[in-house]
Amino acid sequence: MEKLIITACICGAEVTKKHNPSVPYTVEEIANEARRSYEAGASVIHLHVREDDGTPTQSAARFKACMDAIYAQCPDIIIQPSTGGAVGMSNEERLQPVTLNPEMATLDCGTCNFGGDDIFVNTENTIIHFAEQMGKRGIKPEIEVFDKGMIDMAIRLCKKGYIKAPMHFNFVMGVNGGISGEPRDLVFMRESIPGDATFTACGVGRYEFPVVTLSILMGGHARVGFEDNVFLSKGVLANSNADLVAKTVRIARELGREIASPEEARTILGLKK
């Protein structure tokens, strides 16, 4: 089986130090969490950034400061900025990190409830606009799908030429408003993508390790980190994102999957560098 790409989603936009004091906010905290995750086996950092007080921001300057600080410690790592940002941000606010020409960025392919009163809005025109901005800069989209209909949207936009094949998906499972993280649903998502596509899977909260374990078994890739889950095991907070990456590495090794380096991940994902 192909080597396993581990993505660490170290920070997110919604999780705070109240959930886990190790959630990074400052440039230094973000760079250190990225390095620890990289040393534990992550080849991709899914990056959100914060102001020093924890407020989520999509500021290009803040992304640049964090990316420079991460590259200073992990020169070969793949950084995948979020264009999802936080619920309620405008499209132009969210798109700012693409001006830095990262190798990858997320492309969220539909609208869904996001717990409580929150709605994560991605209209068809928004998705097309984001895809065009990434396409013209040679940025590989990681197609984030929170439900099966979002896969269908991506396939349609790929057929229309807005998204290039082969596509790379991230199945985000277990959001309150999206698809659950039950094994049946992960199998359904995997069976719904084109044959030439690759995928990563992640599960929110208690779904994190069941989802990545099944993805590893099915030949998919794995995303773990504080954005999705702050616990190493039931009731035990992780000290660092690296604890979650290290657990994923242990599971993968037991199941016979070797871990991809960033260069190997670039080859698997067809990145430009």
Interhelix angle 208-218/241-254, nearest 10 degrees: 40
User: If contact means CB under 5 to 8 A according to the sort of partner, which of Zn ion, ligand KMH, none does residue 241 touch?
Assistant: none
Contacts by 50-55, CB closer than 8 A, 24 or more apart: 50/11, 50/24, 50/25, 50/26, 51/25, 52/25, 52/26, 53/25, 54/16, 54/17, 54/23, 54/25
Contact of residue 251 among ligand KMH, Zn ion, none (CB under 5-8 Å per partner type): none
Minimum distance of ligand KMH from residue 124's CB (angstroms): 17
The backbone torsions φ and ψ at residue 67, rounded to the nearest 5 degrees and listed phi first, read -65, -40
Beta carbon nearer to ligand KMH, 50 or 257: 50
Minimum distance, C-beta of residue 108 to ligand KMH, in the bound complex (Å): 5
Q: Which of residues 84 and 225 has its CB atom nearest to ligand KMH in the complex?
A: 84
169 binds, among ligand KMH, Zn ion, none (CB under 5 to 8 A by kind): none
Size of the site for Zn ion (CB under 5 A): 1
Residues binding ligand KMH (CB under 6 A): 13-14, 82-84, 86-87, 106, 108, 114, 120, 144
Beta strands 56-57; 49-50: pairing state? antiparallel
Here's the x/- map for Zn ion, 45-84, by CB under 5 A: it reads as -------------------------------------x--
Residue 68 makes CB contacts below 8 A (sequence gap 6+) with none
CB of 255 to Zn ion, least distance (A): 26
> Around Cβ 138, how many Cβ atoms within 10 Å?
11
CB 1 to ligand KMH: min, Å:
27
Q: How far apart are CA 38 and CA 73, in angstroms?
A: 10
Helix, strand counts (H, E) of the chain: 9, 14
Query: What is the nearest approach in angstroms of ligand KMH to the Cβ of residue 177?
Result: 10
Identify which of residues 179 and 257 has a Cβ nearer to Zn ion in the complex: 179
Residues in contact with Zn ion by CB under 5 A are 82
